[in-house]
Amino acid sequence: MKINYSGKWAIAILVMFVTTQLMAARPKIIPKTPAIAAKSYIMVDYNSGKILASENEDEAVEPASITKLMTAYVVFDELSQGNIDLKDEVTISKKAWKTPGSRMFIKVNSKVPVELLLKGMIIQSGNDASVALAEFIAGSEDSFAALMNQHAHNLGMKNTHFVNSTGLPDSQHLTTAKDLAKLAAALIRRFPEYYRWYSVKQFKYNKINQFNRNKLLWRDKSVDGMKTGYTKSAGYCLVASSKREDMRLITIVLGTKSVSARAQESQKLLNFGFRFYETHEVYKGDESIKQIDVYKGNQDSLGLGLSRSLYVTIPRGEYKNLKPVMQVQDVVIAPVAKGERLGEISLQLSDKVISKIPLISLNDVPEGSFFKRLKDSILLIFK
């Protein structure tokens, strides 16, 4: 019997093609998040803002020394506005000197530059340095706490209330894992020149050398910050930020049982997030994505784009299956203002919309001449 090999090869190729298509269409399997031994936790992608894992993320808890992220944020903001300078010398009050807990060991009535106080607060978690900075900026720690709360409001930290600059226990001094993720991301984004201090492993002041309490700085070279905290009522807490290639993750674990536990639980989250997810910049902000016709204007076309870059965090290997869908206003008539919403772009994965963002005008389009408007009026009748 004569075998038709060409027919067999055709069938084999067809089977392989169908199998490949079915496998490509099948969504990637993401296992459940590892068990995390903490009162609450969250893991967020820095660029996309997508929450990859969380539990009790909106539960109000004491943040302990993680409070100092907001203390630093306020000081950084004052620096960026030019209200203070890193070289400004701060006279240390008796209250700052006597503040209990972790200390930088500054001396009462001494003058210490803002930069050294910031390093003492960030690297050594000095409560004395935190109070000194608060008093320097706002006159008193109470007034500074009001400033902290205003910044928290501006950042959308809806379940946060601060009463001091240190994180020392107080029943009214509360925040959440989700709110802390917002703060951490904003600090990294707004103040990269100061964020680098969170990766410093040790700092010496007054002949006393102290080590950064964030053990992940030694264990994982991708971790470049941020802050630890501990009180008996808050437990052991850690905010960590890690960047591998172009992807940055922020993790918050609150209320673990030990120094090693907060590092271990944070590492679990980071390994899980980087293993099973990837983040992509799909479109850059302020770049033209689509050209559309404009009628009755001083130009015939207009570029549409996004006000900010669009990032998505998706299961690894799924980027090829991401589908953009654009909806644009049917007829656009001048005048058009820069930033005016004229459509929307949606990103779909496995027939689910995972992100939506407005399409906006990238520039102004004033009205055209009388004859241009007349001409386009006629065109619109036929359109």
Q: Can you list the domains of the chain with their CATH numbers?
A: 40-278 (3.40.710.10), 284-382 (2.60.410.10)
Question: Which residues, 6 or more positions from 347, have their beta carbon under 8 angstroms from its beta carbon?
Answer: 282, 310, 312, 322, 323, 324, 325, 353, 354, 355, 356
d(CA 249, CA 311): 13
Cβ-count burial 63-86 (b if 16+ within 10 Å, e if not): bbbbbbbbbbbbbbbbbeeeebee
C-alpha to C-alpha distance for 217 and 224, rounded to whole angstroms: 7
Residue 250 CA to residue 241 CA, distance in Å, equals 5
Pick the catalytic residue: 39, 48, 54, 68?
A: 68
Q: Is 40 a catalytic residue?
A: no
d(CA 60, CA 56): 9
Q: Give the whole-angstrom CA distance, residue 260 versus residue 239.
A: 14
Burial label for 193, CB within 10 Å (0-12, 13-18, 19+), is exposed
125 is catalytic: yes
- Write down the pTM of the prediction: 0.89
pLDDT of 147 over the 80 cut: yes
Q: Six-digit token pair at 142?
A: 């109470």
- Report, as an integer, the average pLDDT of 342-347: 96
pLDDT of residue 276: 97
Answer yes or no: is pLDDT of 24 > 60: no
What's the chain's average pLDDT? Answer: 93
Q: Determine the pLDDT at residue 274.
A: 98
Q: Which of 48, 125, 165, 241 is catalytic?
A: 125
Among 9-13, 60-64, 193-197, 376-380, which is the least confidently predicted range? 9-13
Site of tokens 């099973």? 276
**pLDDT of 323 above 90:** yes
Which pLDDT value is given to residue 184? 98
User: What's the one-letter identity of residue 261?
Assistant: A
pLDDT for 27 equals 52
Burial of 325 (0-12, 13-18, 19+ CB in 10 A): exposed
CA distance 241 to 154: 22
CA distance 153 to 280: 29
Cis check: omega of the bond before 27, within 30 degrees of 0: no
Length in residues, the chain: 383
| Weakest-pLDDT range from 16-20, 48-52, 155-159, 319-323 | 16-20
pLDDT tier, 383 (very low <50, low <70, confident <90, very high otherwise): confident
| From 40, 65, 242, 361, the catalytic residue | 65
**Residues 233-289 pLDDT 10s:** 999 999 999 999 999 999 999 999 999 999 999 999 999 999 999 999 999 999 999
Portion of the chain with pLDDT greater than 90, in percent: 89
Decide if pLDDT at 209 tops 50.
Answer: yes
For 160-189, what is the mean pLDDT? 98
pLDDT at 25: 46
Q: Which residues contact 311 (CB under 8 A, 6 or more apart)?
A: 45, 47, 48, 279, 280, 281, 282
In the annotation, is 68 catalytic? yes
Residue 105 has pLDDT above 80, yes or no: yes
